[in-house]
């Protein structure tokens, strides 16, 4: 029975999880959300449908919310969610559940995988570097039991915490990062930039344009930080807050994997 997993990833954590999950499930197809967002409507008739994403501000990334609103189910699918996060998933999977209910669908199950942090600005949360291998090992250990639940079409409550306090806290944090500090406005390319166009080609929101003598950041930033973490020269900064800070991407995910996410690599 066919499984389709739609995924969005910024530094590769979510892609690494769904690749392992698809291999365990068998007969599975991985479909990148940014590529699908170029379509007016997305129809799916798979027996099982997964929606996988990193948690941003204790909730769904906006690009994933937009994707779910476009997604149309043409059959009776078993729908499951996969959320990756550095520490706390908040109510991200419950938000996914609510979006699906608006469409007359149900989230059959939702699973959280704790992975290394990659949020680097305006507050740096990447202090978990010494524990990365432990997180990778724990995540790998969850793949087989989660796959078994999906194969058996088991129903379960979404993992995470839909607490109103966490939801409000996430909204405040998102507001601070996007409005008060306005992270996208502080994005800049330093003199280390060699205009290789990696940032332009990797940006899931098509928010970056590299010209002969400038790198232009638009107003559609998803704050996935793919441009920062994947720049080969380490040339992209958020103001002065990220200067000298280490970058991160999942060791088993390549730049080529990331470029394929947009569907035009």
In a domain, 101, yes or no: yes
117-161 confidence digits (pLDDT tens): 998 877 778 889 999 999 999 999 999 999 999 999 999 999 998
Q: Is the pTM of this model over 0.85?
A: yes
Our count of domains for the chain comes to 2
What secondary structure does DSSP assign to 52-73, as a single string? Answer: EEE-BTTB--HHHHHHHHHEEE
In a domain, 162, yes or no: yes
Please say if the pLDDT value at position 265 is more than 60: no
37-94 confidence digits (pLDDT tens): 988 889 999 999 999 999 998 899 999 999 999 999 988 899 999 999 998 899 999 9
Residues 158 and 197 in one domain: no
> Could you identify the residue written with the tokens 């906006």?
62
Maximum alpha-carbon separation in the chain = 55
Strand partners for 72: 43
Strand partners for 50: 5, 80
DSSP state of 14: H
In a domain, 173, yes or no: no
174-189 confidence digits (pLDDT tens): 777 777 677 778 899 9
With a CB cutoff of 8 Å and minimum separation 6, the contacts of 121 are 183, 186, 225, 228, 238, 239, 241, 242
Residues 106 and 205 in one domain: no
Residue 36: the pLDDT is 94
- Other beta carbons within 10 Å of 56: 23
Mean pLDDT, rounded, of the chain: 92
**Packing angle between helix 13-25 and helix 132-151, nearest 10 degrees?**
40
Provide long-range contacts, Cβ within 8 A and 24+ apart, for 123-129: 124/241, 124/242, 124/245, 125/86, 126/245, 126/246, 126/248, 128/86, 128/87, 129/246, 129/248
Residues 157 and 189 in one domain: no
What is the CATH classification number for the domain harbouring 50?
3.40.50.360
Residues 212 and 253 in one domain: yes
Residues 161 and 195 in one domain: no
In a domain, 171, yes or no: no
Q: pLDDT over 90 for what percent of the chain?
A: 74
Residue 123: the pLDDT is 75
What the block records as the tokens of 126 is 């990447």
Please say if the pLDDT value at position 20 is more than 90: yes
**3-state SS, residue 82:** strand
Q: What are the percentages of helix, strand and coil residues in the chain, rounded to 5?
A: 35, 20, 45
Residues 159 and 220 in one domain: no
Residue 170: the pLDDT is 73
Residue 264: the pLDDT is 77
Instruction: Identify which of 113, 112, 132, 84 has the alpha carbon closest to the alpha carbon of residue 246.
Output: 132
Domain carrying residue 77: 3-166
Residues 152 and 233 in one domain: no
């Amino acid at each position: 029975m066919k499984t389709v997993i739609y995924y969005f990833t910024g530094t590769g954590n979510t892609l690494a999880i769904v690749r392992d999950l698809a291999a365990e499930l068998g007969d599975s197809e991985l479909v990148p959300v940014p590529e699908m967002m170029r379509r007016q409507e997305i129809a799916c008739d798979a027996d099982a449908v997964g929606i996988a994403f990193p948690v941003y501000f204790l909730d769904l990334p906006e690009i994933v919310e937009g994707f779910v609103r476009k997604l149309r189910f043409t059959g009776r699918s078993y729908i499951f969610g996969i959320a990756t996060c550095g520490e706390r998933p908040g109510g991200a999977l419950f938000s996914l559940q609510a979006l699906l209910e608006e469409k007359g669908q149900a989230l059959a199950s939702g699973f959280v995988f704790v992975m290394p942090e990659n949020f680097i600005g305006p507050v740096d949360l990447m202090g978990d570097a010494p524990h990365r291998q432990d997180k990778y090992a724990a995540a790998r250990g969850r793949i087989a039991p989660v796959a078994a639940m999906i194969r058996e079409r088991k129903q379960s409550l979404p993992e995470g915490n839909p607490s109103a306090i966490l939801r409000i806290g996430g909204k405040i944090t998102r507001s601070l990062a996007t409005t008060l500090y306005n992270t996208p406005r502080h994005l800049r390319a330093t003199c280390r930039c060699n205009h290789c166009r990696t940032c332009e080609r990797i940006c899931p929101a098509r928010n970056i344009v590299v010209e002969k003598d400038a790198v232009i950041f638009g107003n559609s930033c998803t704050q996935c930080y793919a441009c920062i973490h994947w720049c080969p020269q380490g040339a992209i900064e958020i103001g002065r807050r990220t200067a000298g800070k280490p970058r991160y991407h999942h060791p088993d995910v390549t730049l080529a994997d990331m470029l394929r996410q947009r569907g035009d690599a």
